[in-house]
Structure 1
Amino acid sequence: MSSTTSISHDKLTRLIGLATTPELIDVRIDEDFALDPRLIPGSHRRSHKDVALWAPQYGGKRAIVICQKGKKLSEGTAALLRHNGVPAEVLEGGYEAWRDAGLQAVPVSLLPPLDHRGRTMWVTRARPKIDRIACPWLIRRFVDPAAVFLFVTPAEVEAVAERFNAVPFDVENVFWSHRGELCTFDVMIEEFGLSSAPLSRLATIVRGADTARPDLAPEAAGLLAASLGLSRIFSDDLEQLEAGMTLYDAFYRWCRDASDETHNWPNRRPGA
């Protein structure tokens, strides 16, 4: 049973992928991390040894601390965070309990190198429509909440990637791109170990919208219409991305929580 300073993995799974997900801080020591070098989706590593140095970065945020077994390292780190004014909880059972439950975990071997501020950096073609908004949404919600996205002239994507140590995506002849009938969003879900019923449903919608296959899902036409509408509203790609984050938040929550719900305007006129 969760206490006021701990949270179960069942409850945490309901928080991951949302715009309001708490900061997830992995404080496993290197030896434990080497046993399974994967991260709970959206989490990032910190050392328990210098909590006082990085605690101020989480001011005003809720944090959940993860160690190997949910004992001394996470308990102590969470307590120090609370001492610094950060509401912090411990994941019960730690990473081991999460792993043993067969829950999603992101392999760090596939993550781009971090910049000097601890962020991953990605680059793709300018003027995004569907896949190039869906993929950043997936990365920020399930891989790296602080990820940086560069939208550049198509011919310069690979050169920018090399010069700025960024990872190219949704362009030809790179790892993160279409594969057969799968779009880049599908590939990222599979490679990052993020498969779930809601994300698989969303991936079908994205694929239908991105590859002119509205027959794949009734919602694909709606996503295409909304995406093209956003591209007309915003001339700035980053502003469009921010608006698109809300769009995909809504589609994800529908896929996860509301796909069985219907709506009909009730006619309550006398005699109706």
Structure 2
Amino acid sequence: MSSYTTISPDKLIRLIGTANTPALIDVRTDEDFAADPRLIPGAIRRNHEEAPGWGEEFSGRSAIVICQRGLKLSVGTAAWLRHLHVSAEALEGGFEGWKAAKLPLVPAAKLPARDAQGRTVWVTRARPKIDRIACPWLIRRFVDPNAVFLFVTPAEVLGVSERFNAAPFDVENVFWSHRGELCTFDVMIEEFGLATPPLLRLAAMVRGADTGRLDLSAEAPGLLAASLGLSRMFDDDLEQLEAGMTLYDAFYRWCRDATGETHNWPTNKAKS
């Protein structure tokens, strides 16, 4: 039974993918991590022995600590973090409990190298419309909440990638790009192990809007209209991305929680 110092997997999965996701901190030992080098979506790795040193970076925030089985490492680290003014909980059952529940896990090997601040860095073409907003949303909500996105002229994407150790995406002849009929958003969902029903529903919307196949999803025309409208509202690609994060937050919550809900008018029409 959950207490104020622990959280269950079913409660945590409802937070992941939203703007209110706590910091997720994986403190498994190197040996345990090597045995299964996957991460709960959005989690970062930290050494439990050094918690008194790194814990202050989470001061004033909420955090969930994950160890192998939800016992001493996560419980002790969470206690240290609370001492540092972090609202910290341990994940019940730890990584093993999450895996047993068949909840999503991201292969660490698929993540790009992190910079000196521990962030993944990505680069793509400037003036994004659909895929180049959807993919950053997916990365920040499910892979790396601190990810950095560089928007540059198309001719410079690969050069910037090489010089700044950034992962290129949504350009031709790179790993993170369209494959056959799949758009880059589809590819990221597959490669990162995130094929949940809500994200697959959202992926159909993105694919339909991004590739001109509006028949793939009844909502694709609406996503296309909203995306093109956003692109006209903002000259700054990063400002557009921030607005797009809210747009995709809304579409994701609809995909997850509200597909069966309808709306009509008048609401209090008398029955005959």
> So what's the TM-score if we normalise by structure 1?
0.98
Q: CA–CA distance in 2 between the matches of 1:271 and 1:12?
A: 43
**Structure 1 spans left out of the alignment, 5+ residues:** none
Which residue type is aligned with residue 103 of structure 1? L
The answer to whether the aligner puts 1:262 opposite 2:265 as a matched pair is no
What is the Cα deviation at residue 109 of structure 1? Answer: 0.5
Structure 2 matches for 1:135-154, cutoff 5 A? Answer: 135-154=135-154
What is the Cα deviation at residue 210 of structure 1? Answer: 0.2
Q: CA–CA distance in 2 between the matches of 1:139 and 1:169?
A: 12
2:131 is matched with which residue? Answer: 131
Q: CA–CA distance in 2 between the matches of 1:153 and 1:228?
A: 19
SS at match of 1:159: helix
What is the Cα deviation at residue 271 of structure 1? Answer: 9.8
Structure 2 matches for 1:57-72, cutoff 5 A? Answer: 57-72=57-72
Distance 1:29 1:268, change over 3 A: closer
What is the Cα deviation at residue 103 of structure 1? Answer: 1.1
Tell which deviates more after alignment, 49-58 or 214-223. 49-58
Which residue type is aligned with residue 222 of structure 2? G
Which residue type is aligned with residue 78 of structure 1? A
Distance 1:51 1:216, change over 3 A: same
Which residue type is aligned with residue 251 of structure 1? F
Q: 1:168-195 CA deviation, whole Å, 9 max, x = no partner? A: 0000000000000000000000000001
2:227 is matched with which residue? Answer: 227
Q: CA–CA distance in 1 between the matches of 2:217 and 2:253?
A: 16
When the two chains are superposed, the root-mean-square deviation of aligned CA atoms in Å is: 1.2
2:159 is matched with which residue? Answer: 159
The answer to whether the aligner puts 1:88 opposite 2:88 as a matched pair is yes
What is the Cα deviation at residue 52 of structure 1? Answer: 1.4
1:199 is matched with which residue? Answer: 199
SS at match of 1:88: strand
Q: CA–CA distance in 2 between the matches of 1:183 and 1:254?
A: 21
2:102 is matched with which residue? Answer: 102
What is the Cα deviation at residue 151 of structure 1? Answer: 0.2
1:3 is matched with which residue? Answer: 3
1:116 is matched with which residue? Answer: 116
The answer to whether the aligner puts 1:187 opposite 2:187 as a matched pair is yes
1:34 is matched with which residue? Answer: 34
What percent of counterpart residues are identical?
73
Tell which deviates more after alignment, 5-14 or 120-129. 5-14
Q: 1:39-94 CA deviation, whole Å, 9 max, x = no partner? A: 00010001111111111111121000000011110011000000111110000010
Distance 1:271 1:19, change over 3 A: closer
Q: CA–CA distance in 2 between the matches of 1:154 and 1:253?
A: 32
Q: CA–CA distance in 2 between the matches of 1:8 and 1:212?
A: 41
Q: CA–CA distance in 1 between the matches of 2:121 and 2:247?
A: 22
Distance 1:271 1:38, change over 3 A: closer
**Structure 2 spans left out of the alignment, 5+ residues:** none
Q: CA–CA distance in 1 between the matches of 2:269 and 2:133?
A: 44
Q: CA–CA distance in 2 between the matches of 1:271 and 1:72?
A: 61
Q: 1:13-63 CA deviation, whole Å, 9 max, x = no partner? A: 111100000110000010000010000001000111111111111112100
Q: CA–CA distance in 2 between the matches of 1:31 and 1:267?
A: 59
SS at match of 2:113: coil
Tell which deviates more after alignment, 48-57 or 247-256. 48-57
Which residue type is aligned with residue 160 of structure 1? V
Runs of 4+ in 1 over 4 A off after TM superposition: 267-272
Q: CA–CA distance in 1 between the matches of 2:71 and 2:268?
A: 58
> So what's the TM-score if we normalise by structure 2?
0.98
Which residue type is aligned with residue 62 of structure 1? S
2:174 is matched with which residue? Answer: 174
Q: CA–CA distance in 2 between the matches of 1:195 and 1:52?
A: 36
1:240 is matched with which residue? Answer: 240
1:216 is matched with which residue? Answer: 216
1:44 is matched with which residue? Answer: 44
SS at match of 1:151: strand
Distance 1:54 1:239, change over 3 A: same
2:14 is matched with which residue? Answer: 14
SS at match of 1:28: coil
Q: CA–CA distance in 2 between the matches of 1:234 and 1:89?
A: 39
SS at match of 1:49: helix
